[in-house]
């Protein structure tokens, strides 16, 4: 009886681990960039036929997002382009087949992405990798020292506002890099998006 309980418990732990291992959350800032590196454990010596990405579009909707088929084309094929609005924002290199670079992030990119890899001649469960992309709608990077200056970036998306220590308000369209090099520019900065959500630094 006890052995059975232990066995069931171990099975439960294993299943949980198995699910935890093929999934990660990737965080990005609006108007910023993100690398979505899918990390399925690929079988050595097996040729991959297709890399297929799905993106949840709602129930009863085809989740197809993108496909890369090395034997057919070196180009990533994107589905529902109009809806996903990723033209010129989605970058894929054939030499990094399982990685997507998404630039100029939008809130609508926040979704669950699933990559399925299938081999040329392999019957079995194809490896999968899930990325939950989280797009924050206002971000203020921690300042980095560059020479004598402290440099940070305020990400707000469109119609954001940056309030400087001397009480000026600057419009932010997407993102703004801030260089703090002199004493008169040190102090509190407010990085605010169009909805009025601010981050103070
Ligand atoms: C995002 O990537 C694009 C294209 O590679 C680049 O031009 C841009 O400077 C990057 N933006 C940030 C905030 O790093």
| Ligand 1 cavity residues, CB under 6 Å | 32-33, 103, 175
In the reported structure, the alpha carbon of residue 134 is separated from the centroid of ligand 1 by a whole-number distance in angstroms of: 18
pLDDT at residue 2 greater than cutoff 70: no
pLDDT category, 16, cuts 50, 70, 90? low
> Do the Cβ atoms of 109 and 90 come closer than 8 Å?
no
Q: Looking at ligand 1, which atom is closest to the CA of residue 175?
A: 13
Cα dihedral sign, 148-154-160-163 = negative
* Backbone torsions φ then ψ of 181, nearest 5 degrees: -120, -25
Q: pLDDT digit string (tens) for 50-103?
A: 999 999 998 999 999 999 999 999 999 999 999 999 989 999 999 999 999 999
Q: What is the pTM of this model?
A: 0.83
> Beta 144-146 vs 139-140: how paired, if at all?
unpaired
Question: Element (H or E) spanning 83, and its range?
Answer: helix 81-84
pLDDT tens readout for residues 36-54: 998 887 888 889 999 999 9
């Amino acid at each position: 009886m006890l052995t059975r309980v232990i066995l069931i418990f171990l099975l439960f732990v294993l299943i949980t681990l198995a699910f935890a291992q093929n999934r990660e959350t990737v965080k990005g800032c609006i108007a910023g960039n993100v690398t979505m590196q899918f990390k399925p454990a690929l079988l050595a010596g097996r040729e991959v036929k297709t890399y297929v990405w799905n993106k949840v579009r709602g129930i009863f909707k085809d989740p197809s997002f993108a496909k890369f088929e090395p034997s057919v084309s070196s180009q990533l094929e994107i589905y529902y382009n109009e809806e996903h609005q990723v033209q010129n924002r989605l970058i894929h290199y054939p030499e990094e087949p399982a990685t997507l670079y998404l630039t100029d992030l939008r809130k609508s990119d926040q979704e669950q992405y699933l990559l399925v890899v299938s081999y040329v001649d392999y019957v079995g469960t194809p490896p999968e990798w899930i990325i939950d992309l989280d797009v924050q709608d206002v971000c203020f990077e921690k300042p980095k020292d560059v020479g004598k200056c402290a440099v940070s970036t305020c990400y707000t998306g469109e119609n954001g506002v940056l309030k400087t220590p001397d009480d000026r308000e600057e419009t932010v369209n997407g993102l703004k890099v801030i260089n703090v090099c002199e004493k008169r520019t040190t102090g509190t900065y407010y990085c605010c998006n169009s909805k009025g959500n601010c981050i103070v630094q």
